[in-house]
Amino acid sequence: MIRFKVNGKEKTFNGDPDMPLLWYLRDVAQLTGTKFGCGMALCGACTVHQNGAAIRSCSTSMKEIGGTEITTIEGIAPMHPVQEAWMEIRVPQCGYCQTGQIMQAIALLKENKNPSDQDIDTAMAGNLCRCGTYQRIRAAIHQAAKQQSAKEMA
Amino acid sequence: MKLIENVSRHVSRRGFLQGALASGVFVLSVRFVPEPLWAAEGDAAAVPFEPSLWMSIASDDTVTIVAHRSEMGCGSRTALPLVVADELDADWSKVKIEQAIGDPKYGDQDTDGSHSVRGSFDLMRRVGATGRVMLISAAAAQWGVSPKDCTTEPHFVVHRASGRKLGYGEVATAAAKLPVPKQEDVPLKARSEWRYIGKESNSLFDLPEIVTGKAIFGMDATMPGMVYASVEHPPVLGQKIKSYDDKAALKVPGVQKTLTIDVFKPPHMFQPLGGVAVIADNTYAAFKGRNSLKVEWDVNSSPHSVYNSAPFRKTLEATSRRPCKVVRNVGDVDAAFAKGGKIIEAEYYTPHLAHASMEPPVAVAEYRDGKVLAWAPTQNPQAVQETIAGVLGIKKEDVTCHVTLLGGGFGRKSKPDQVAEAAVLSKQLGKPVKVVWSREDDIHFDYFHSVASMYMKAAVGSDGKPTAWLQRTVYPPIGSTFNASATYADDEMGLGWNNLPFDIPNHRAENGPADYHVRIGWLRSVANIYHAFAISSFADELAKAANKDSAQYLIDLIGPPRIVALDLKGDEAEDAKKYPLDTARLRRVVEMVAENSGWGKQAMGKGHGMGIAAHRSFLTYVATVVEVEVDGRGQVHIPNVWTAVDAGTVVSPDNIRNQFEGAAVFGTSLALFSEITATNGVIDQSNFHNYQITRMNRAPRHVDVQIVKSEAPPAGVGEPGLPPFAPALYNAVFAATGKRVRELPLSKTKLV
């Protein structure tokens, strides 16, 4: 029996301990905001937070999450400054990768409150967007950083 | 075979125009005798006009507008309802969008060819305007005044003299009892009255759901009691199963059973590839079980195991060096070449590409009592109906296809083979089945963008301008997907090959034959990718050979303002009536992008350069300048891209900028990184480590998009940004390094 938390709620899991967290979230817990893109930690569509840090849920097995706290896009109280910035900049095209992008961006801003373009490139290079919204993602992260620091000042 | 007749009409990327009239849901209308209007214009306009198909108004003020095109990221699902709402004078915040199921009554629903807005713009305006007239009439009757004395403001009818108002919801029931007015009695708004069309404030309808993870893509669709399936497909197209061992697979926890799917009968069209399916309680168990399958394939059952990319390239190139089928002829190139003078030749090569949408192919379907219900991320729900009907031998009317949001499409999701797999498996199992393709499935078994070889030859006069220009292109055609003996291109000729816009007295375009060995499909901008690469690279080669500035040389090649005479047939001829090839518009985008990029004004150091290219596709004129910096290791960086776009009338300018920014990134992928190859008929690439697409750190740093203000009819937006990008980048690499590279992707060539 594996015990863990998802979006603040206690959970247990008795199934195949090799099952990637991604498929637990999507097929068992019905939290479909986390997306399947590659299954090899190459695209970032499945990004969630484990104890606040961004991880790839497609390559994290259930046996690796025991005792930890998982946060998915559904657990981000709307609207986080990152989501607000995504709306204002109108980042998405198809939108499929965007929840992974947003989870990665939130984790970045937690560690680095004022990231440079270079910092953003480094943090976001693992998140693919086939529609090609990178320019807007970068702009939205800068904007979210500003909003976040303005809130903290106030 | 009926399936062939029906689905092969997709080759024309249109069709399904014989709309059967069904009763509508439009509360504003009673059923009326349809008028077969606009039959010549294609798309939705070719079905009988029936506003009840498209919108309804409820007494609580909610306006529901039907989106009959799919949303794969280009904004069609938002743009067309915005047009209805504008002419209806609706308050957008009170609009709901209902996604249409597949049904010929909507006309063509294949969301491809960048023609959603251009194909349905006029009809959507008329739908909204008709509703507005009927609401005014109903309110005027209630007030006992003339409709002429009334107007609207968002969601209200207003009596001008008294200032009285009635909400749309309040008069909807009365309006529904009125006859639908004739077209001549339905005035359209003046452009100056548009509230939504062309406005910067427009954003995607689904934006809030997307950023909160609530949006439902195909990957997220479920049906009660469904099981999950993963299919081991034949590694070589058309191979049959010799034997298989599922003992280990069946031991995997969660695996229920295995089933086989028959290999298609040629032509493959959108039929299932065949193979062994693992049925399981969840996606992971299905994948894991499949990894434990042992399948032996009958290697003699397919002719395609001969496919090896390197020798195939040589075959294409050899064909391109011989005279081929003439697809356009102006003057006499042979006579001009015979006169001698300076002759320049070049050959270009571009590989197969995979679409690699972020959402792999997926679908859920249930077969019950001879009928199928499917949910799929499809660009073409009618093709889902046709394909499943053909494969299962049922009527297409008995296939209901709901359309989810698409996690990217780029042409791949016009082909519903995976939806047919789900239906076939459901029929065998007696319960709903969700088929999930892995990324490896997606890349191995795509409908690939074709590999192509181009041969170019020009005779150049003393002024440096060509007196003769010969171009020859050879590739396995899309038609091979619908006709196994097709070797020549068909509609691809209209995609940047039979319509060279240059002012050259002698010109001939040719197309040579090639056999297919993988499924060939259309990928964002299709043949324009390789055609523009050859034409715009060659134009730059001629400019440099003449020691001329590339932008000025391009303007000179385009020549004086004129409508280019083209000998076109079918859809292209129809398009040309409304959208003639106007060199003034092409020239203007070149001048705009040169101005905006500061072309020729900036001194460029070693390893630093700009390149330019212009291309018209999907009736939209685009010019692009790419700036590159090539570092000491030969790695290419793209600090800036400038694009100028004339797409005629536009609905959502910010979305158009997003599309063109994205095209620069998609273009970077195919220009720098992406290549699909085959060895003995098996695709060599499998996932994003060996089929690379652009990551943020290699993407253009800044993409600037300028949109020409135009009142011309709306043209394409989703695709036209792509074709000029790669040649502009390669021309920039030449400017930066002096190296002329003539094949995609650039990663195969050492620049240092």
In angstroms, the CA B57 to CA B64 distance is: 6
Could you give the CA distance from residue B387 to residue B269 in angstroms, rounded to a whole number? 9
Contact B348, B534 (CB under 8 A): yes
Amino acid letter, B433? V
Name the CA dihedral angle for B439, B441, B445, B447, rounded to a multiple of 10 degrees: -40
Model ipTM over 0.95: yes
pLDDT of B443 higher than 90 = yes
**Superfamily designation of domain A81-153:** [2Fe-2S]-binding domain (1.10.150.120)
> Residue B626 — very low, low, confident or very high, per pLDDT cuts 50/70/90?
very high
Does the pLDDT value for residue B581 go beyond 70?
yes
**Residue type at position B196:** Y
Q: What is the mean pLDDT of residues B18-42?
A: 28
For residues A132-148, average pLDDT:
97
Section A5-27 average pLDDT: 97
Among A83, A125, A135, the residue with its CB nearest the CB of B661 is A135
A133 contacts B357? CB cut-off 8 A: no
Check B212 against A94: CB less than 8 A apart.
Answer: no
User: Across the interface, which of A18, A95, A135 has its CB nearest the CB of B210?
Assistant: A95
Can you give the pLDDT at residue B40?
A: 28
Phi, psi of B720 (to 5 degrees): -60, -15
Do the beta carbons of residue B488 and residue B511 sit within 8 Å?
yes
Q: Which residues of B touch A133 (CB under 8 A)?
A: 658, 661-662, 665
Residues of B whose CB is below 8 A from A26 = 219-220, 283
How high is the pLDDT of residue B164? 98
Where in chain B are the domains? 2-212, 218-302+361-436, 321-353+447-748
Q: Do B436 and A33 touch (CB under 8 A)?
A: no
The average confidence (pLDDT) of chain A is 97
The stretch B423-441 carries a mean pLDDT of 98
Mean pLDDT of chain B: 93
The answer to whether B342 touches B460, Cβ cutoff 8 Å, is yes
Tell me which long-range contacts A3-8 makes (C-beta under 8 A, separation of at least 24).
A3/A66, A3/A67, A4/A65, A4/A66, A4/A67, A4/A68, A4/A69, A4/A70, A5/A68, A5/A69, A5/A70, A6/A31, A6/A70, A6/A71, A6/A72, A6/A75, A7/A31, A7/A70, A7/A71, A7/A72, A7/A74, A7/A75, A8/A69, A8/A75
Taking the C-alpha atoms of residue B387 and residue B421, their distance in angstroms, rounded to an integer, is 10
Q: Look at residues B114, B113, B529, B521 and name the one whose alpha carbon lies nearest to residue B356.
A: B521
Query: Which residues make up the CATH 3.10.20.30 domain(s) of chain A?
Result: 2-75
Check: CB of residue B76 under 8 Å from CB of residue B150.
Answer: no
Q: Which CATH architecture has domain B218-302+361-436?
A: 2-Layer Sandwich (3.30)
pLDDT at B39 over 50: no
Q: Give the least confident one: A91-105, B52-66, B609-623, B649-663.
A: B52-66
Check whether B545 has a pLDDT greater than 60: yes
Q: CA A57 to CA A61: how far, in whole Å?
A: 8
Is B587 at the interface with chain A, CB within 8 A?
Answer: no
Cα A43 to Cα A32, B71, B686, distances in angstroms:
17, 22, 13
- CA separation for the pair B110, B6 (Å, rounded): 14
Contact state of B696 with A125 under an 8 Å Cβ cutoff:
yes
Q: What is the pLDDT of residues B398-408, one digit of tens each?
A: 999 999 999 99
Give chain B positions within 8 Å (CB) of A134. Answer: 665, 694, 696, 699
Which residues between 315 and 374 in chain B have a beta carbon less than 8 angstroms from any beta carbon of chain A?
A: 356-360
pLDDT for position B398:
98
Q: Out of A148-152, B398-402, B654-658, B663-667, which region has the weakest mean confidence (pLDDT)? A: A148-152
Percent of chain B beyond pLDDT 90?
88
d(CA B43, CA B114): 12
For the segment B492-516, the average pLDDT, to the nearest whole number, is 98
Number of neighbouring beta carbons within 10 Å of residue B749: 14
Residue B7 pLDDT > 90: no
**pLDDT for B18 beyond 80:** no
- Checking if the pLDDT of B233 tops 80, the result is yes
* Residue B236 contacts residue B682 (beta carbons within 8 Å): yes
Give CA–CA dist B496/B489, Å, rounded. Answer: 12
Residue A131 has its nearest CB partner, among B285, B408, B701, at: B408
Sign of CA dihedral B602, B603, B606, B609: positive
Mean pLDDT of A77-100: 96
d(CA B397, CA A126): 44
A/B interface, count of CB pairs below 8 Å: 191
**Between these two residues, B705 and B571, which has the higher pLDDT value?**
B705
- The yes or no reply on domain B321-353+447-748 and CATH 3.40.50.300 is no
pLDDT of residue B50: 67
Q: What is the pLDDT of residues B583-604, one digit of tens each?
A: 999 999 999 999 999 999 988 9
B183 inside 8 A of chain A by CB: no
Q: Residue B47 has what pLDDT?
A: 56
- Percent of chain A exceeding pLDDT 90 equals 94
Residue numbers of A between 35 and 64 with CB closer than 8 Å to B: 35-40, 42-43, 45
H/E element holding B349? strand B342-350
pLDDT above 60: residue B200: yes
**CB-closest option in B73, B287, B693 to A94:** B73
Evaluate if residue B36 carries a pLDDT over 60.
no
pTM of the predicted model as reported, rounded to 2 decimal places: 0.95
**CATH 1.10.150.120 boundaries in chain A:** 81-153
Do the beta carbons of residue B129 and residue B87 sit within 8 Å? yes
Report whether pLDDT(B41) > 80: no
Nearest to B359 by CA among B302, B418, B300, B401: B418
CATH class of A2-75: alpha beta
Collect all residues of chain A within an 8 Å Cβ-Cβ radius of residue B438: 39
Mean pLDDT of B230-247: 98
**Is the distance from CB of B309 to CB of B297 less than 8 angstroms?**
no
Residues of chain A positioned with their CB less than 8 A from the CB of B410: 130
Calpha distance B139→B101 (Å, rounded): 33
Strands of B179-323, DSSP E: 227-232, 240-245, 255-261, 275-280, 294-298
Which residue, chain included where needed, has tokens 């109108």? A90
Residue B192 has pLDDT above 90, yes or no: yes
What pLDDT does B15 receive? Answer: 27
User: Is A124–B696 a contact, with Cβ atoms under 8 angstroms apart?
Assistant: yes
Distance CA A102, CA B187 (A): 45
Please provide the CATH number assigned to the domain covering B2-212: 3.30.365.10
- pLDDT-based confidence at B17, cuts 50/70/90? very low
Question: What is the secondary structure of B151-206 as a DSSP string?
Answer: EEETTEEEETTT--EEEHHHHHHHHHTSPPPPGGG-PPPPGGG-SSTT-TT---TT
Residue B10, pLDDT > 70, answer no
Cα–Cα distance measured from residue B464 to residue B295, given in angstroms and rounded to the nearest whole number: 61
Q: Closest Cα partner for A85 from A37, A153, A4, A151?
A: A151
pLDDT value for B48: 58
